[in-house]
Structure 1
Amino acid sequence: MPFNRRSFIQKWGGLTSVAFFSSLFQPAWSRNLQHALQQTASIPPTQLASDEDFWRYVQQSYTVSPSIINLNNAGVAPAPKVVQDAMKRYFDFSNEAPSYFMWRILDQGRETLRGNLSKLAGCNTEEIAIHRSATEALETVIFGLNLKKGDEVVLSKQDYPHMINAWKQREKREGIKLVWVNMELPSEDNEYLTETYIRAFTPRTKVVHITHMINWNGQILPVKNIADAAHAKGIEVLVDGAQSFAHFQFDIAALGADYFGTSLHKWLGACIGSGFLYVKKEKIKNLYPLFASDDPAKDDIRKFENTGTRPFYIEQAIGKAIDFHQMIGSKRKEERLLYLKNYWMTKVHDFPKVKLYTSQKPGFGCAIGLIGMDGVPPKELDAFFFNKFRIHTTPIEWENLKGVRVTPNVYTTTGELDVLVEAIRQFSKT
């Protein structure tokens, strides 16, 4: 009997041929995750956070190594399969004729990507510049601000080293003055955290640099409170969001930031070497670009994107990372990450010698946790985790924060965290 296209379509109840054939070639992990999302659509994020069956389907979306337990996602996180596949496709496509397919084809997707990033960030499309990392974005601001000798910048001893070094370079070359705050962390007192910055403000303060989430121990700072106090005194606000963006829910515009930089290869799960810069619209004109523009004073966010030849295959794959993030849901993701941190911390809290340096309360921390042992160098505990249990973490020794940083991700299972708990139990008894 010959094939009858009309009867075929009718038989499948109106299912389009595109949808049908897409389902035929859709990987099993993708079909399973899609089904799990449909089945759990009505479950509140706080309740779904502990549903291991659901998060197993998310885990299948990754290609993480079975030979180690990766608990250092705050450094750089793996991209899900769909992002990896997109990047590889775009890479192959680029190499068919790079100057044509990169510049004339892939580069045409940048404006769509800019729009999608701005929606996720909660800001205007004309306020987002696509960069390669939080370092590039933040140093664009640090070196682009119009500061003169004697102007003061308030920053923290707990800020990220690259940013500290950038400010120190301006201090050395131009004579600006760095005013340091030194917080006792962890803290669950927003008034204390806010006042620590406010006390450092003087009539000569021009900028305050705030790390939204301290990378060493996962402390979340009350950026909005600090920003409001700064703006009341005419002080500009630069926010380091390397660890916060796509980690927990917030809108950049609502933070009160004048400038914001982040990496996308951490919590969004984009390819390694991706990030963005946010500049409030009215601030763009007076901020010099890090890489020269034809007109450094123009009021166009794109003036910050003159970085030369760039890997468009990495840039365009960011779109798939946004899709994956939104498919899971920002609030579901946040609640799962908080649940995982609290899961292992609660179990080890009363072990001998254990010291925890991260809050378990929502709003003060999320996925990142810092653990120490009385009298034990962090490198020794980190080595024990890896050598005996194949758990990959990172030792932290920075200012007044010392311990081993543990950072699970959405693909981490509670079974893997049980291995961490056992490792901590064994070490605590030595």
Structure 2
Amino acid sequence: MLTRRNWLRQSILTSAGAALLAPNTLQALSGRQINVFNQLGTSANDEAYWELVKEQFTFAPGLTYFNNGSLGACPDHVVQATNTFRQTLDGFPSKYMWGGWDEEKEAVREKVANMFSVSPETIALIHNTTEGMNLIASSMNLAAGDEVLLSSHEHTSARVPWKYWQESKGVVLKDVPLPLLPASKEEIVSLFRQAITPNTKVISIVHVTNTNGMMLPVKEISAMAHEHGVLVAVDGAQSMGMFRINLDDLGCDFFTSSSHKWLFSPKGMGVFYAREESQSLLKPLIVCRGWENKTIRRLENYNTRNLPELLGLGAALDFRSLIGQERIEQRIFELKHYLLGLLEGDERFVVKTPRADDLSGGIQTVEVVGKQVGDVRDALRDDHGIDCRPMSGHGINGVRLSLAIYCTKADVDKLVLALAEG
């Protein structure tokens, strides 16, 4: 006899999954499924609800996963959906690779656009953040002496494209040093304001740093930059899916992210956004038949690509819709506050992430005083089955803890006890 929780799990993976798996529909999960899920409680702090959410992910036995900032997991039904799409493709390869799934691809684009509250005509479906940053950096028509501003916490994959595509032309890449623990958003904005010169053409910044989870005030930086005629490109690898984002309101010109982190999509899928008025500046990284296309689709014209993963992104977005964007955001910040509450006042730990909710979210980096971060990470992994990311740059010496929706308060309790043991 099925328990309520097991029955609900099976129900999600069959009835709801069937809607996702049908190659000609790719429709959202039914209202009945949403109502069933809600029976466990609509409150963001209902642990029984979040235990159920965790059950939709299958991790290796004994693993407690706090490394979503490196790579997220797919819910089980997204795995099943992607595998079914793959079987469908292999059953009639030429049909589905070239034209058979055109409507389904556009459905995924629309789901992404709805998540960001923008037009589908601003969204390209690419492979990852690195591709998006290369697309931006390779497209910019910059000359010797022009400047690109980067924060000191940019990811390598957001920095190297500018070096490769622009530095040899004499374009100057300028770092804007960021404090590890800024006191306010305005402190960060003022640093970029002071760094702008008449030669500045682009500000390329991370939305949420992968180092200590610092959240940069992209909206305020974009507004300030546009006053000076400067374009703004955003690496959103750690923000997309962590909290709600309205890209029109954010105001940046370009935004790119990998969907296999906080959206829990199949690996190798990403999203690229460009304001309609800025799209003419962009040149495709790859061209083939159809290169004359004037829409944003020209940026994703790969001819042959892994369409099951692309459609799997649609399944992941349906899973997100089942839970609700607002609820996901509330939960992530609830876990953040719960973790910080357990650490507060304990002199064995130093939190290396800004505390304010407008300066950090679901990534918190913690130093264990007197211990090297590599040793702490090894002990967590080997002795407790906890996976997280060590961070040693920028004077951090802390483990980066990613608080995703498959983390429960019991998991956080286990983590803090393990950290205390060193």
Q: TM-score, normalised by structure 2?
A: 0.89
**Corresponding residue of 1:15:** none
3-state SS of 1:361 partner:
coil
Deviations 1:379-404 (A, max 9, x none): 11111111111110111122343311
**Corresponding residue of 1:303:** 298
Q: Following TM superposition, by how much is the alpha carbon of 1:184 offset from its aligned partner in structure 2, in angstroms?
A: 0.9
- Conserved 8 A contact 1:293-1:306: yes
1:270 aligns with 2:265: yes
Of 327, 346, 367, 1:372 maps to: 367
**Corresponding residue of 2:145:** 150
Q: Following TM superposition, by how much is the alpha carbon of 1:415 offset from its aligned partner in structure 2, in angstroms?
A: 1.2
Using the alignment, how far apart are the partners of 1:251 and 1:387 within structure 2? 41
Structural mapping, 1:25-424, within 5 Å: 26=15, 34-38=35-39, 40-41=41-42, 48-292=43-287, 299-424=294-419
Using the alignment, how far apart are the partners of 2:13 and 2:41 within structure 1? 23
Amino acid across the alignment from 1:58: V
- Conserved 8 A contact 1:158-1:398: no
3-state SS of 1:109 partner:
helix
Q: Following TM superposition, by how much is the alpha carbon of 1:108 offset from its aligned partner in structure 2, in angstroms?
A: 3.7
Using the alignment, how far apart are the partners of 1:23 and 1:227 within structure 2? 41
- Conserved 8 A contact 1:33-1:57: no
Deviations 1:326-369 (A, max 9, x none): 11111111111111122222212333331101233322211111
- Conserved 8 A contact 1:170-1:176: no
Percent identity between the two aligned chains:
30
Deviations 1:247-267 (A, max 9, x none): 111201111110110111111
Q: Following TM superposition, by how much is the alpha carbon of 1:311 offset from its aligned partner in structure 2, in angstroms?
A: 0.6
- Conserved 8 A contact 2:137-2:166: no
| Long gaps (5+) in structure 1 | 1-21, 42-47
| Long gaps (5+) in structure 2 | 1-10, 18-28
* CA pair 33-280 structure 1, distance change in 2 beyond 3 A: closer
Using the alignment, how far apart are the partners of 2:272 and 2:33 within structure 1? 35
* CA pair 250-24 structure 1, distance change in 2 beyond 3 A: closer
Using the alignment, how far apart are the partners of 1:405 and 1:39 within structure 2? 31
Task: Mark the structure with the bigger radius of gyration.
Answer: 1
Using the alignment, how far apart are the partners of 2:227 and 2:167 within structure 1? 29
Deviations 1:70-100 (A, max 9, x none): 1101111111112111100001111113222
Using the alignment, how far apart are the partners of 1:224 and 1:289 within structure 2? 27
3-state SS of 1:405 partner:
strand
Amino acid across the alignment from 2:327: R
Amino acid across the alignment from 1:348: L
Using the alignment, how far apart are the partners of 2:328 and 2:275 within structure 1? 27
Q: CA RMSD in A?
A: 2.2
- Conserved 8 A contact 1:288-1:297: no
Using the alignment, how far apart are the partners of 2:103 and 2:318 within structure 1? 19
Deviations 1:31-88 (A, max 9, x none): 99752414534xxxxxx33211111111121112232111101111111112111100
- Conserved 8 A contact 1:194-1:225: yes
Q: Following TM superposition, by how much is the alpha carbon of 1:293 offset from its aligned partner in structure 2, in angstroms?
A: 5.6
